[in-house]
Amino acid sequence: MVPIRSIGPRHSERITAHLLSLSPHDRYLRFGYAANDEQIGRYVTGLKFERDEIFGIYNRKLKLIAMAHLAYSTDPQLNSCAEFGVSVLGTARGRGYGSRLFDRAVMHARNDGVDMMFIHALSENTVMLNMAHKAGATIERDGSESEAYLLLPPADLDSRITEMFDEQIAQTDYRLKVQAKQFWRFLSAVQDVRRGVREHKPPRALD
């Protein structure tokens, strides 16, 4: 199981770092245009954490290696629609993270009363379009761009409990990674002190 957690504004810097480390071609695929650093910065600043849902997968160094954005419609008449966008770092591709984020977004959207999820992708983005197609989405090609939409079944007890359970596991996993990272930092400071004692150097202060 891949721990996928819902992430809030406190993680904005990590979201920015994740998106900035995408290659120019991946930025083009993700945003539908060759987003520069400034545009990525504006995208992150404009994220509506209170309305939308952002999901992330962290590695053990707490680097955000994959993330998805489920954006809800701002039009009150279309509040049962949401749009899905995703990115996975090049080094973490092909491990199923994109698909897991897709499944998680579907489950969350269902539980939130959404009945149609949209994916806007460039027509050349066969990986994304295949993922959507495999999930049952209808794909409409319009030249270089494509729209995929997926009709979602209503929420049920299983989807609600599964999401709660997955989120709990992911939050626990994240807390453990934070602790492990802090402990490694502490250990390396202790080792510095030991080395200093051995070499008669003044110790570096512990955090």
Ligand X SMILES: CC(C)(COP(=O)(O)OP(=O)(O)OC[C@H]1O[C@@H](n2cnc3c(N)ncnc32)[C@H](O)[C@@H]1OP(=O)(O)O)[C@@H](O)C(=O)NCCC(=O)NCCS
Name which of 26 and 192 has its Cβ closer to ligand X.
Answer: 26
**101/68 Cα distance (integer angstroms):** 6
Amino acid at 13: E
Amino acid at 194: R
Query: Under the criterion CB under 6 A, does residue 3 sit at the interface with ligand X?
Result: no
Name which of 40 and 128 has its Cβ closer to ligand X.
Answer: 128
Q: Could you tell me how far CA 153 lies from the centroid of its own chain? A: 23
Selected binder of ligand X within 14, 95, 133, 177 (CB under 6 A) = 95
Query: Under the criterion CB under 6 A, does residue 46 sit at the interface with ligand X?
Result: no
Name which of 33 and 184 has its Cβ closer to ligand X.
Answer: 33
Query: Under the criterion CB under 6 A, does residue 71 sit at the interface with ligand X?
Result: no
**12/21 Cα distance (integer angstroms):** 14
Q: Could you tell me how far CA 195 lies from the centroid of its own chain? A: 40
The residue at minimum Cβ distance from ligand X is 98
Selected binder of ligand X within 15, 56, 98, 106 (CB under 6 A) = 98
Minimal CA–CA distance to 153: which of 67, 79, 80, 56? Answer: 80
Q: Rounded to the nearest whole angstrom, what is the least distance from the CB of residue 147 to ligand X in the complex?
A: 12
CB 79 within 8 A of CB 73: yes
Q: Rounded to the nearest whole angstrom, what is the least distance from the CB of residue 33 to ligand X in the complex?
A: 12
Q: Rounded to the nearest whole angstrom, what is the least distance from the CB of residue 27 to ligand X in the complex?
A: 8
| Non-local CB neighbours of 94 within 8 Å, separated by 6+ positions | none
Q: Please list the residues that pair with 88 across neighbouring strands.
A: 66
CB 162 within 8 A of CB 169: no
Name which of 119 and 152 has its Cβ closer to ligand X.
Answer: 119
Footprint on residues 110-139 left by ligand X (CB under 6 A): 121, 125, 127-128, 130-131, 134
Which residues of this chain interact with ligand X, rule CB under 6 A? 26, 29-30, 85-88, 93-99, 121, 125, 127-128, 130-131, 134
